[in-house]
């Protein structure tokens, strides 16, 4: 579904991506991991066309993404920070995004699942951080897209919403979708991810299953396995 | 683009600041008419306020809106829309909501005072057209500055400096050079220098329309000769349009290459 070839990106003097090759074909949950500044968000934003690479190509369903914005019709994206126009209501922001994308949206069920119905006529600047994040999640999951990209989806969620989110992601996975997640919560990764893509200094350091990484580092604890990978690398 | 324009317009016209801006104009309009009892005089006073204030407000609103909607812009960029539509839609949303405040805020008092029965209709119309042009120009310039500067403090300072330069410093330099080079023929120089600053251009246009160019002495006579003709007015409008078109084109150009 996604094929990334030889991707390079630098911001000023800071070389963030140094030759990424990545191919994701089969459906499932993929966790993109790495320390701060390893290029996770840049990689994700390159796929979305928000960051324009210096070198390299990205293909989505076989088409070069730099040619037309239409491929984003098939991608759902959850940005890291939820911040919406202050004076629009929740209802309006939903209709705006639906307007922009067209097509079928399953916003009603999702809104019920996250308990957003009482907030529909509230202005967005009156919502709490967690409620905004719920709006954010509903916005990004309400279309039935083949690829779902989530940047730090767990930020600010209460336990109930977190459980809902996990259920939802499992449902989507069962429906044959490809889900790309970045997160720093290792427990979430261990529980959800089928495969991890570990970025280190702008390169893919490891790709495989959670158990694969544990075996490689000879540890039984995933968090320790990650820590060990990092210390080995920097040692 | 129209969809994005529609929603950022909705967002902005509901913000508290739009109301403050609108109320300010309503107040100014009524107060001036109450004090002057004369439409033409009120138009002159208003002109002095508008050519300074409108650029300032356009600059500040433009830059604040751009920086405040950064995360929302990212969300929009992830949708299947062209980059150009996102930025031009937002730009027009800001510029149009500001222009609307200006048109309604000044239009209401003047119409209720009997604008259409007076002979100041054209002058007042020109004032509003100029105000709208200045809003479009300075919002676009502010967007340009914001797109180039990631750092908000820097962007904000540059924007204010730009306003200060065009509204105040430019005139100072212009006058100084007229004094220093007083012995040379300065007709063309002063006309070109005026054209290069949208604020000056609007001011001169309105002054000439009000037929008080005699106040400007010799330079006024040159301007009258040049701007008074149809070619002069046409040329000035073309230059103002260029002042809108060039920054907007640059927004478009920058939006294609920018990373978020």
Nearest to A149 by CA among A128, A178, A173, A175: A178
Instruction: Please state, in angstroms and as integers, the Cα–Cα distance from residue B227 to each residue in A82, A124, B105, B240, following that order.
Output: 52, 49, 29, 14
Question: Angle A169-A173-A174 (CA atoms, 0-180°, nearest 5)?
Answer: 120
Query: Do residue B14 and residue A87 have CB atoms under 8 angstroms apart?
Result: yes
The residue-averaged pLDDT of A182-194 equals: 87
Burial of residue A167 (CB within 10 Å: 0-12, 13-18, 19+) is exposed
CB B210 within 8 A of CB B123: yes
Burial of residue B3 (CB within 10 Å: 0-12, 13-18, 19+) is middle
Structure tokens belonging to residue B247: 């920054």
Q: Examine the pLDDT at A112 and tell me if it is beyond 90.
A: no
Structure tokens belonging to residue A66: 């730099």
Query: Do residue A83 and residue B257 have CB atoms under 8 angstroms apart?
Result: no
Helix or strand holding residue A59 (H, E): strand A55-60
CB A137 within 8 A of CB A130: no
Query: Do residue B78 and residue A96 have CB atoms under 8 angstroms apart?
Result: no
Q: How far does A75 lie from chain B, in Å, by closest CA? A: 8
Which residues of A fall within a CB distance of 8 Å from B77? 48-50
Q: How far apart are CA A176 and CA A198, in angstroms?
A: 23
Q: Which candidate in A87, A129, A151 is best for mutational testing of the B interface (most B CBs within 10 A)?
A: A87
Query: Do residue A52 and residue B8 have CB atoms under 8 angstroms apart?
Result: no
Which residue reads 């006579």 in tokens? B221
Determine the pLDDT at residue B220: 67
Which residue reads 């920097």 in tokens? A234
Q: Does A54 touch chain B (CB under 8 A)?
A: no
Which residue reads 């893509």 in tokens? A197
Q: Residue A147: helix, strand or coil by DSSP?
A: strand
- Confidence class for position B185, pLDDT limits 50, 70, 90: confident
Determine the pLDDT at residue B199: 92
Query: Do residue A69 and residue B80 have CB atoms under 8 angstroms apart?
Result: yes
Question: Could you tell me what percent of chain A has a pLDDT over 90?
Answer: 9
Determine the pLDDT at residue A125: 87
User: Across-strand partners of A151?
Assistant: A182
Q: How far does A105 lie from chain B, in Å, by closest CA? A: 14
Three-class SS string for chain B? CHHHHHHHHHHHHCCHHHHHHHHHHHHHHHHHHHHHCCHHHHHHHHHHHHHHHHHHHHHHHHHHHHHHCHHHHHHHHCCCCCHHHHHHHHHHHHHHHHHHHHHHHHHHHHHHCCHHHCCCHHHHHHHHHHHHHHHHHHHHHHHHHHHHCCCHHHHHHHHHHHHHHHHHHHHHHHHHHHHHCCCCCCHHHHHHHHHCCHHHHHHHHHHHHCCCHHHHHHHHHHHHHHHCCHHHHHHHHHHHHHHHHHHHHHHHHHHHHCCC
- In chain A, the number of structural domains is 1
Query: Do residue A50 and residue B78 have CB atoms under 8 angstroms apart?
Result: yes
Q: What is the pLDDT of residues B102-148, one digit of tens each?
A: 999 999 998 888 878 877 788 888 899 999 999 999 999 999 999 99
**How would you label B165-204 residue by residue, b for 16+ Cβ within 10 Å and e otherwise?**
ebbeebbeebeeeeeeeeeeebeeebbebbbebbbbbbbb
Q: Does A17 touch chain B (CB under 8 A)?
A: no
The number of C-beta contacts closer than 8 angstroms across A and B is: 75
Q: Tell how strand A195-200 and strand A28-33 pair up.
A: parallel
Higher pLDDT pick, B57 / A68: B57
CB B81 within 8 A of CB B4: yes
Q: How far apart are CA A96 and CA B2, in angstroms?
A: 11
CB atoms closer than 10 angstroms to residue B125: 12
Determine the pLDDT at residue B217: 62
- Residue A42: closest CA among chain B residues belongs to which residue? B260
Q: Which domain holds residue A205?
A: 2-234
Which residues of B fall within a CB distance of 8 Å from A87? 10-12, 14-15
- Residue A124: closest CA among chain B residues belongs to which residue? B11
Q: CATH number, domain at A118?
A: 3.40.50.300
Q: Tell how strand A203-208 and strand A178-182 pair up.
A: unpaired
- Which residue among B68, B71, B79 sits closest to A72, beta carbon to beta carbon? B79
Structure tokens belonging to residue A60: 């989505």
Determine the pLDDT at residue B94: 94
Q: Does A88 touch chain B (CB under 8 A)?
A: yes
Mention every residue, 6+ apart, whose C-beta is less than 8 A from residue B90. B4, B5, B8, B65, B66, B69, B73, B143
Which residue reads 């019920």 in tokens? A112
Q: What is the pLDDT of residues A2-35, one digit of tens each?
A: 899 889 998 888 888 888 888 888 899 999 988 8
Q: Examine the pLDDT at B96 and tell me if it is beyond 70.
A: yes
Q: Examine the pLDDT at B192 and tell me if it is beyond 90.
A: no
- Which residue among B7, B15, B257 sits closest to A92, beta carbon to beta carbon? B7
For the ranges A116-120, B206-210, B215-219, the lowest mean pLDDT is seen at B215-219
- Confidence class for position A235, pLDDT limits 50, 70, 90: low
Q: How far apart are CA A203 and CA A190, in angstroms?
A: 22
CB B62 within 8 A of CB B235: no
Report the complex ipTM: 0.83
Q: What is the pLDDT of residues B28-85, one digit of tens each?
A: 999 988 888 888 888 888 888 999 999 999 999 999 999 988 888 888 888 888 888 9
Query: Do residue A87 and residue B10 have CB atoms under 8 angstroms apart?
Result: yes
Which residues of A fall within a CB distance of 8 Å from B74? 50, 79
Q: How far apart are CA B163 and CA B169, in angstroms?
A: 9
Which residues of A fall within a CB distance of 8 Å from B84? none
Determine the pLDDT at residue A217: 82
User: Across-strand partners of A30?
Assistant: A180, A195
Determine the pLDDT at residue B62: 95
Query: Do residue A50 and residue B259 have CB atoms under 8 angstroms apart?
Result: yes
- Residue B18: closest CA among chain A residues belongs to which residue? A87
CB B226 within 8 A of CB B232: yes
Determine the pLDDT at residue B183: 83
Q: Tell how strand A75-78 and strand A55-60 pair up.
A: unpaired
Query: Do residue A85 and residue B70 have CB atoms under 8 angstroms apart?
Result: no
Q: Examine the pLDDT at B213 and tell me if it is beyond 60.
A: no
């Amino acid at each position: 579904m996604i094929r990334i070839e030889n991707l390079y990106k630098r911001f000023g003097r800071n070389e963030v991506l140094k030759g990424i090759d990545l191919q994701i074909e089969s459906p499932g949950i993929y966790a993109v991991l790495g320390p701060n500044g390893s290029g996770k968000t840049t990689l994700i934003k390159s796929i979305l066309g928000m960051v324009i690479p210096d070198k390299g190509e990205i293909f989505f369903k076989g088409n070069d993404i730099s040619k037309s914005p239409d491929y984003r019709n098939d991608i759902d994206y959850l940005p890291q920070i939820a911040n919406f126009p202050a004076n629009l209501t929740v209802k309006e922001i939903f209709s705006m995004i639906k307007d922009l994308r067209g097509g079928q949206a399953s916003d009603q069920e999702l809104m019920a699942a996250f308990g957003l119905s009482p907030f529909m006529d509230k202005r967005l600047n009156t919502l709490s951080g967690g409620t905004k994040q719920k709006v954010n999640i509903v916005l990004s999951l309400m279309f039935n897209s083949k690829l779902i990209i989530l940047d730090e989806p767990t930020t600010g969620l209460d336990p109930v919403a977190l459980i809902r989110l996990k259920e939802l992601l499992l449902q989507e996975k069962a429906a044959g979708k490809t889900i790309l997640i970045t997160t720093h919560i290792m427990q979430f990764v261990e529980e959800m991810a089928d495969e991890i893509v570990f970025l280190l200094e702008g390169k893919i350091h490891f790709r495989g299953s959670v158990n694969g990484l544990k075996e490689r580092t000879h540890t039984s604890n995933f968090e320790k396995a990650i820590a060990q990978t990092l210390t080995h690398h920097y040692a | 683009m129209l969809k994005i324009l529609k929603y950022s317009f909705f967002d902005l016209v509901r913000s508290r600041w739009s109301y403050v801006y609108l109320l300010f104009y309503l107040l100014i309009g009524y107060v001036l008419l109450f004090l002057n009892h004369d439409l033409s005089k009120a138009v002159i006073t208003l002109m002095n306020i508008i050519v300074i204030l409108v650029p300032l407000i356009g600059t500040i609103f433009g830059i604040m809106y751009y920086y405040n909607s950064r995360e929302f812009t990212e969300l929009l960029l992830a949708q299947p829309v062209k980059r150009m539509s996102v930025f031009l839609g937002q730009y027009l949303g800001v510029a149009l909501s500001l222009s609307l405040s200006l048109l309604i805020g000044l239009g209401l008092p003047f119409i209720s005072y009997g604008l259409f029965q007076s002979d100041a209709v054209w002058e007042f119309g020109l004032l509003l057209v100029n105000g709208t042009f200045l809003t479009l120009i300075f919002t676009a310039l502010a967007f340009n500055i914001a797109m180039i500067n990631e750092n908000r403090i820097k962007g904000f300072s540059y924007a204010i400096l730009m306003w200060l330069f065009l509204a105040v410093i430019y005139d100072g330099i212009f006058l100084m050079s007229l004094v220093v080079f007083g012995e040379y023929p300065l007709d063309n120089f002063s006309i070109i220098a005026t054209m290069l600053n949208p604020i000056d251009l609007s001011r001169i246009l309105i002054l000439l329309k009000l037929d008080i160019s005699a106040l400007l002495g010799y330079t006024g006579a040159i301007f009258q000769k040049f701007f008074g003709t149809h070619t002069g007015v046409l040329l000035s409008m073309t230059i103002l349009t260029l002042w809108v078109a060039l920054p907007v084109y640059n927004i478009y150009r920058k939006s294609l290459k920018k990373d978020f």
